[in-house]
């Protein structure tokens, strides 16, 4: 029985000590701050969702519709593919010419002047 009383006395002293009170007070304060900051973060995420949804509704959807109208008015798919391949070929030729000119310049070789 003495051992039980001694253990109960030890637990009571630990619970009522100033250090225990300070530790629990700090833990509760930190927990409250964490919950408050997490709530603010959730609110900001919600507002971000609302802003992105509004942007999508007011900007992206009409842009998609306008693109669709533009694409439908272009003509046949073969014509679009033909024009796109010509544009890609011209861009590729220009890029290759620039790369070759730069390489020749770096190597000190004579560079032909293009018109």
Segment 11-21, tens digit of pLDDT: 999 888 889 88
Confirm if 105 and 111 have CB atoms less than 8 A apart.
yes
* Sequence-separated (6 or more) residues with CB below 8 Å from residue 74: 80
Q: What span, in angstroms and rounded, lies between the C-alpha atoms of 47 and 53? A: 10
pLDDT in tens, 64-112: 888 888 777 776 667 777 888 888 899 998 898 888 888 888 888 888 8
Confirm if 111 and 104 have CB atoms less than 8 A apart.
yes
Confirm if 20 and 14 have CB atoms less than 8 A apart.
yes
pTM above 0.75, yes or no: no
């Amino acid at each position: 029985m003495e051992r039980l009383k001694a253990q109960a006395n030890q637990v009571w002293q630990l619970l009522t000590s100033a250090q225990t009170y300070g530790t629990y007070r700090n833990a509760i304060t930190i927990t409250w701050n964490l919950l408050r900051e997490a709530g603010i973060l959730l609110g900001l995420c919600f507002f971000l969702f609302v802003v992105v949804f509004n942007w999508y509704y007011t900007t992206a959807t009409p842009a998609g519709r306008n693109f669709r109208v533009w694409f439908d008015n272009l003509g046949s798919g073969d014509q679009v593919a033909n024009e796109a391949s010509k544009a890609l070929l011209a861009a590729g030729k220009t890029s290759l010419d620039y790369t070759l000119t730069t390489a020749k310049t770096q190597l000190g070789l004579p560079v032909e002047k293009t018109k």
